[in-house]
Chains A and B, each alone.
Chain A
Amino acid sequence: MVVWPALQDRSIVPATSSGVDRENVVRGIERQQYAPALATGFAGTALGIFEQEPYGALFIVVAALMFIERRQTAAVAALLLIGGCALILFVYDARAGSVTRPVAFLLSGLGAFWLVSIWRKQADFDQNLVDARLIVESMPGLGWATDAKGNFVYINPSVVDYVGKSTDEFNAVGRTGLEAVHPEDADRVTESWLTSMRTGTPFESVHRIRRADGDYSWFHAYGRPHRNQNGEIQGWYGTTIDVDEKQRAQQRLADSERQLQTLIDTMPVMIWCAAPTGEPIYQNPKLLEYLGATFEQIRDNNFGVVHADDVASFQSTWADCVKRKTPLSLICRLRFNDGTYRWNRVTAAPLLGENDEIIQWYGTNVDIEELHQTQEELRSNADRLRLMLDTLPAFVWCASPDGQPTYFNEPLMKYSGVTLEEVRGTNGSGFGPMISSLVHPADAPVLSNRFEQSFRSGEPIAVKYRHRLADGSYHLVDCRARVLRNGQSRVLQWYGVIVDIEEESHAQVQLQKAQHQLELATRAASLAELSASIAHEINQPLVAVVTNSSATEKWLEATPPNFERAKSSARKAAEAANDAAEVIVRVKALFRQSGGAKRPGNLNDVIREACVLLRERISASRCDLRMELQDDLPEVVLDRSLILQVLVNLIQNAMDAMASLNGAVRLLEIRSTLKGRNVVVDVRDSGVGLHDTDKIFDPFYTTKHNGMGIGLSICRSIVGAHAGALWATPSEHSGSVFSFSLPTAGGEYNVQ
């Protein structure tokens, strides 16, 4: 930004100077200028004082002349002085004692000195100008000067080289060089230039200028006004420096900054900056949009968007990170713009300066709500699974493909009094430690064998052994395991359960006992039921005997005695008494047979006897009784009274099932057939049918409101004791069929 005077006009003396070099140059010139004047002054003064000569005054006058500033006038004066002195020397004769000639000589000498001084001054000045011009023209920038109106008065060769135009060409255009400025910048430059012209302030502009070949480069133009003593602007001097690289670099920087900003603003990531102490400085639009808050709101209350439950831990963690300058990473709930709270992972890292001081924090937030939920779900699932496994009343274990235990559930560890670590052993030790610590020594070899085989082949394990309990005792357990394979049927894991069957095996024994007792009880119960039935069978005819005989008496007592009626009554009484006797006979027969050994007999006979026994009831129930008995039935080994009891029971049930039928056909069908080696008896009714054909055989289960629910269970145990079977099936149309089968005597039945 050095401003040089316009070199075109050499008369212009710099009015302002800003360069130190230039100052020195001018000062040198001045000293040289004053030297002859001083010499003349001293000579005149000496002459005047020592020689008392009036010539001394002349010297002083010449010395004064030497201060003439104008170079040409001074040169003329010097030449005139030399000429005058030479004339005096030639014309004036040398006289003794006359000082005129020496004075003239001296003056001409002084004049010559003056002239030389002027010449030297000029030479110095010219040299300086040449130097200055060289500087101006060889400097890398474009130098220029204009007059007060803005017309170019000088442009350095660089301008001509670059733009390809001379001063005149510039001025000819009329826009003072703007013609070469990039059209986009022209207006701006014009305005700036006009403003500077008007106000006299320095002109500065950065704009593109067209090179001769048409390309544009960026330039930084700077111009200053040149004023005269009165402060009026005489012209402008300026340089225009190529800043293309810098400008482009700046533009690139700006571009990249803008890109970065765009990136930050549009990236679907929430980014923020914070001051070293943690106050927010910047939050990108995504973050603000996410939070549904303005930056000011965040700045005022940094933690306002954090869930109330998370604020405390966030604050303490954040404060800790700020204090220790460590990166921050935490998850917390942040208020989403719809008011709900969503889980976010907040991470931040401090930017550290040279002295390890925090310059700024840079952080990102990532919404991990879905992830968090999934994780939570997974965790709760895992927890639930673990809880389930640990509360399951079963012992669960897992093992690696080679049999090394990988998991024992809580109950199993408690049950066995060991921890997984204790039975796992070292890596690769397989199931050895597990067996040696948990299995009865007597069972261990068998179990090891079995395990080894399964773990090698992948076959499911199902084995019973004595398991060591926490208290050191052994329980019989059932251990089962299966293998989980992947797609390539590679064994991944063994899953097993252990079930304590100690009690079960005890229970099995007890169940057998209980069944035996039940059998005894049912026998007793059946006896009671039988006796009730017998009582009824006898009571009925007994009532008839009593009433009829009483009637007979009355008929005879009557006046006149009614012999006809008496006879009839007496006959009825006798018949009833016979019935009772018959019952007694039958019962006697029943008891005579009951409890005795089983004998071969014909089942058809027993069926007929049952029907005789129930004759009255069957007729009263208005059932249509149909019997289809196979004639040539082989004999079966049976306890007649017990089988009779079964038949009576089944027939009574059938009648009961049909008792509530109104108007519908009451069909009671009894059939006997030979099927293979068994004689099968079906008792079919057309009643209401059954809901559960199995449960009805359970003791004390009944569908009748006045039944005890033991009839069928007794029947089943009776038939069972005959190595037969008793079952019920629904009938085709309605009702049900009760059937029992007994093996024929020729079969493999073993009489016990």
Chain B
Amino acid sequence: MYNEDHAVFVVDDDKRVRDGLSEFLESRRMNVATFASGREYLDAPKPDTASCLVLDVRLPDVDGFELQAQMSENPHPPIIFITGHGDIPMTVRAMKLGAVDFLAKPFREHDLLTSIETALDRDRVARQERAALHDLQAKLECLSARERDVLPLVVSGLMNKQGAAKLGISEITFQIHRGNMMRKMHADSLADLVRIAGKLSIPITHSRHGNC
């Protein structure tokens, strides 16, 4: 399990807790980085790998919830809250905002590990999805202007003849653009292309029967 493809960040103002968690996780061959405050965490450079954040609720400067709110705009590692005095409202609030788990100190080591694994898995998936989307976006960028016009028409299910008419070009030319576009988008079939378009949020703007 000890490899470079992950990182666990620990933010807690109590040095004993930081050290304990660091020791605990390192003994399980995990990459750990500890921080005494939210600001310290935000300022630190972070590796581009699957990661998760073990966050104390009560912090001297920005408390855990505030930190969570601050990061919610951008992609951030899944959060596992730990607290000395947790109550149900706090738990609910944290979970609603997308926390993986909410653990009251002292917690069972097993619970923490499970949570961390869940969080890392979730981050991995999210990263993959982000990467895939990024890849598709890069492919879309590669399309010529004409091919980019052709894409929504094809995805909308228009026949070559109809699409050509829409763009005011010959059917043959349309077919050439379509072929190039399919190749550049690495789409094996029309169904494949529709799936890719869905991920890229390309809207279905035309109907085969309508004239819009």
Which residues from chain A sit less than 8 Å from chain B, CB to CB?
A: 532, 535-536, 539-548, 550-555, 558, 562, 565, 568-569, 572-573, 575-576, 579, 616-617, 620-622, 655, 659-660
Contact = CB atoms under 8 A, between A and B. Distances in A.
Nearest to A542: B106
Given A548-B20, A554-B28, A569-B23, A620 B84 contact: no
Contacts of A540: 14, 16-17, 84, 105
Contacts of B24: 547-548, 550-551, 554
B68 to A, nearest CB: 16
B23 A543 contact: no
Contacts of B82: 543
Contacts of B84: 535-536, 539-540
Given A620-B36, A659-B61, A544 B17 contact: yes
A620 B84 CA distance: 16
A547 B20 contact: yes
B4 interface: no
Contacts of A554: 24, 27-28
A579 B27 contact: no
A166 B160 CA distance: 152
Most buried by B among A548, A550, A555: A550
Interface string B67-93: 000000000000000101100000000
A543 B17 contact: yes
Contact of A550 (B16, B17, B27): B27
Nearest to A619: B15
Given A540-B14, A546-B109, A551-B26, 14 more contacts: A532-B85, A539-B84, A539-B105, A543-B16, A543-B106, A544-B19, A547-B109, A548-B23, A551-B20, A569-B27, A572-B19, A572-B20, A620-B14, A620-B36
A571 to B, nearest CB: 10
A543 B19 contact: no
Given A542-B105, A543-B105, A621-B60, A616 B14 contact: yes
A49 to B, nearest CB: 170
B85 A620 contact: no
Chain B facing A: main interface SS: loop
B106 A546 contact: yes
- Ranked nearest first, the 4 interchain pairs of A and B with the lowest CB-CB distance are A554-B27, A547-B20, A547-B24, A544-B20
Contacts of A539: 84, 105-106
A621 B39 CA distance: 13
A554 B19 CA distance: 15
Contacts of A547: 17, 20-21, 23-24, 109
Interface in B107-144: 107, 109
10 contacts: A539-B106, A542-B105, A543-B17, A543-B82, A544-B17, A550-B109, A568-B23, A573-B20, A575-B16, A620-B14
B101 interface: no
Most buried by B among A532, A558, A575, A620: A620
Contact of B16 (A544, A569, A617, A621): A544
Interface in B21-42: 21, 23-24, 26-28, 36-37
B147 interface: no
A543 B61 contact: no
A569 to B, nearest CB: 5
Contacts of A575: 16
Q: What's the interface size class on B, roughly?
A: 20 to 34
A606 to B, nearest CB: 24
A562 B29 CA distance: 12
A546 B23 contact: no
A425 B24 CA distance: 97
Contacts of A544: 14, 16-17, 19-20
A544 B61 CA distance: 22
Contacts of B21: 543, 547
A622 B23 CA distance: 25
Given A543-B105, A543-B106, A550-B27, A620 B60 contact: yes
Contacts of B23: 547-548, 551, 565, 568-569, 572
A543 B15 CA distance: 11
Interface of B: 13-17, 19-21, 23-24, 26-28, 36-37, 60-61, 82, 84-85, 105-107, 109
A660 B63 CA distance: 11
Contacts of B17: 540, 543-544, 547
A464 to B, nearest CB: 52
A565 B16 contact: no
A539 B24 CA distance: 17
B35 to A, nearest CB: 12
Most buried by B among A542, A553, A655: A542
Nearest to B28: A554
Contact of A536 (B27, B61, B85): B85
Most buried by A among B19, B24, B26, B105: B24
Contacts of A541: 16
Contacts of A550: 24, 27, 109
Contacts of B36: 620
A627 to B, nearest CB: 21
A262 to B, nearest CB: 95
A664 to B, nearest CB: 13
Nearest to B105: A539
Given A554-B28, A568-B23, A569-B27, A543 B107 contact: yes
Nearest to B14: A540
Most buried by A among B36, B82, B106: B106
B13 A579 contact: no
A660 B59 CA distance: 11
B30 to A, nearest CB: 11
A569 B26 CA distance: 11
A543 B20 contact: yes
Contacts of B27: 550-555, 558, 562, 565, 569
Contacts of B107: 543, 546
A728 to B, nearest CB: 23
A579 B82 CA distance: 20
Nearest to B103: A543
Nearest to B21: A547
Nearest to B39: A662
A545 B84 CA distance: 15
A666 to B, nearest CB: 10
Contacts of A545: 20
A551 B19 CA distance: 11
B26 A576 contact: no
B105 to A, nearest CB: 4
A659 B105 contact: no
B62 to A, nearest CB: 9
Contacts of A621: 60
A535 B106 contact: no
Contacts of A535: 84-85
Contacts of A576: 16, 20
Contacts of B85: 532, 535-536
A539 B14 CA distance: 11
Contacts of B16: 540-541, 543-544, 572, 575-576, 579
